[in-house]
Structure 1
Amino acid sequence: MNETVEKPAGAGRGVKVALVASLALNLLLGGLIAGAALRHHRDMGP
């Protein structure tokens, strides 16, 4: 990687895309885990 050449616009966009993708993935995983946990808990209930 050549760090002497900087492209602020491209880098900023890449970081923003990465953050949005990471946030979306975290929300998706969190929702799946929470849903599975709630279903599991309800099944074990009375």
Structure 2
Amino acid sequence: MHLRIRRSTKKRRHLGFRARMATKSGRKIVNRRRRLRGTYP
């Protein structure tokens, strides 16, 4: 799992949080982080 995510986000690593939210894979990662933190609405 981690390898797949890292490979897909490596070229976008320099982009900010908002820019990452704009991408489909980025939204997935962000959603997963939100769920882990328990800050889901």
Q: TM-score, structure 2 length as denominator?
A: 0.40
Q: Which has the larger radius of gyration?
A: 1
Higher RCO by CA contacts (8 Å cutoff, separation 6 or greater): 2
Report which of the two has the higher share of helix: 1
Q: TM-score, structure 1 length as denominator?
A: 0.36
